[in-house]
Amino acid sequence: MSQTLPTPTPAESANPQLAGSVLVLIQFDVCEEIRLDQLQQIIASRTLQQPNLKHPAPAYVRYQRPPVVVPADPLILDSGEQLSGEIKYYDYGVVSVIFQLPFSGDWDSLIRLASRWVWDIDFASRVEPMIRQRLERAASTLVKPYARWLSEDYFIFHLCPAPDRPIAGDLVWSYGNQIAQLVRGDRSPLAEGEVAEVLNSRISYYVNDLAVIGWNAALLYDTPAGAETAIQLLEYANSQLLEFRHYDELLTGVLDTVYDSLGQKHSRLARWRMARSANRLHTVLLEVSELTEHADNAIKFLSDMYAARLYRLAAAKVGVPDYKNLVTQKLRTAEELYDYMVEQFNQSRAFFLEVIVVLILLIELLFLFRGQPS
């Protein structure tokens, strides 16, 4: 039976009081792999439990290897806000830091806070020194550490429903403009088409929960337990984006080197050395293919269709499929270049063998004619 909501006063309808928390997710791609077993022995930690799902059932979202989780040092902003948080170490080389700040206020104050956090604060530069300092004490657990770290940040605005709060559909109907501003991090009201674009990326399981996913931020309207699944999936989607960005840069550098090498004029003798370059390219291909498969399979959705749909929506909005397609195309190009280089090497080898055969025949003929009486 549907519940009749009380009619809010104009002031309440325009700017009701909200309660929840504001979260910022900062992630770094630090190495190819983190040996979590060794890391646990070095630092006091706990492993991440399986996320709570929206209905009582066994865990439907399962980490292949759960990340190691430790508390983070408090982060104090210039405004005096003190954020608490935690650090997660994933076995595929990503370190994820999530800070949160409890919030209580109206839509206007939340939108101002969102805009300030999204555009005015460089969270990555503030957090990176802390992570580097921690990893210095655990350097032995890092496999092939990177000198330069790629980073991603993402903002999550979690609003807790209250007994007198509207259901998800009414929330979108009454405050769609504010939700769009929040997800975009914009201080000014957005155009109708832009609001529709933002609200098109929403998903709900029950009538009283809502997730609106953007490329840089998301709104979650749910209980803390219900929002935990969405937060973990948003975290995982952003870590996937980070990994595929790294593979894209790696393959771009490798392909540029190969193109430069192939663009030079090669003698047949120089082509003989192409086998070494082809072997290096093939090694990179195998490594990237293995690492992408490892990162891609880090989490499994056993039978929960809502969790799978939520992840697909989050991954699509942050750009995971786009970078994954780029990596796939570059892997295909690298394979074609490898085949071409092997073919060039084989042609040079065949030519070299033909020259050897001709030289042997000439030597045999020379000895044959020398052995004949004059």
Q: What is the pLDDT of residue 1?
A: 35
Q: What is the pLDDT of residue 58?
A: 37
Q: What is the pLDDT of residue 88?
A: 95
Residue 110 tokens read as: 């939340």
Q: Which is nearest to 129 in space by CA: 156, 95, 84?
A: 95
Q: What is the pLDDT of residue 143?
A: 95
- Please name the residues in contact with 133: beta carbons below 8 A apart, sequence gap of 6 or more: none
Q: What is the pLDDT of residue 56?
A: 41
Which amino acid, 213?
I
* Apex 373 CA angle, 367 and 374, nearest 5: 110
Phi-psi region of 206 (alpha: psi -120 to 50; beta: other; left: phi over 0): beta
Helix orientation angle between 320-371 and 305-318, rounded to the nearest 10 degrees: 70
Q: Which is nearest to 8 in space by CA: 114, 223, 113, 162?
A: 162
pTM comes to 0.81
CA pair distance 54, 228, nearest whole angstrom: 10
Q: Is 122 helix (H, G, I), strand (E, B) or coil?
A: coil
Q: Can you list the positions of beta strands (E) in the chain?
A: 18-34, 46-47, 61-63, 68-71, 75-76, 82-89, 94-105, 142-159, 202-203, 210-213, 217-221, 299-301
Per DSSP, 78 falls in state T
Domain boundaries of the chain, sorted by first residue:
16-230, 238-369
How far from the centroid of its chain's Cα atoms is residue 358's Cα?
58
CA pair distance 313, 309, nearest whole angstrom: 6
Q: What is the pLDDT of residue 190?
A: 95
* Structural contact between residues 153 and 25, judged by C-beta atoms closer than 8 angstroms: yes
Q: List, as one string, the DSSP characters of 133-196.
A: HHHHTTGGGEEEEEEEEEEEEEEEEEE---TTSPPHHHHHHHHHHHHHHHHHT-SSPPPHHHHH
- Please name the residues in contact with 240: beta carbons below 8 A apart, sequence gap of 6 or more: 295, 296, 315, 320, 324
Which CA distances in Å does 246 have to 152, 250, 320? 11, 6, 12
pLDDT tens, residue order, the chain (374 aa)? 333 333 443 434 456 789 999 999 999 999 999 999 999 888 765 666 555 555 443 355 677 788 999 999 999 999 999 999 999 999 999 999 999 999 999 999 999 999 999 999 999 999 999 999 999 999 999 999 999 999 999 999 999 987 766 788 899 999 999 999 999 999 999 999 999 999 999 999 998 899 999 999 999 999 998 899 899 999 999 999 999 999 888 888 888 877 776 655 555 545 555 556 666 676 777 777 776 776 666 667 655 788 889 999 999 999 999 998 888 888 888 777 777 776 766 666 666 676 777 777 777 777 777 765 55
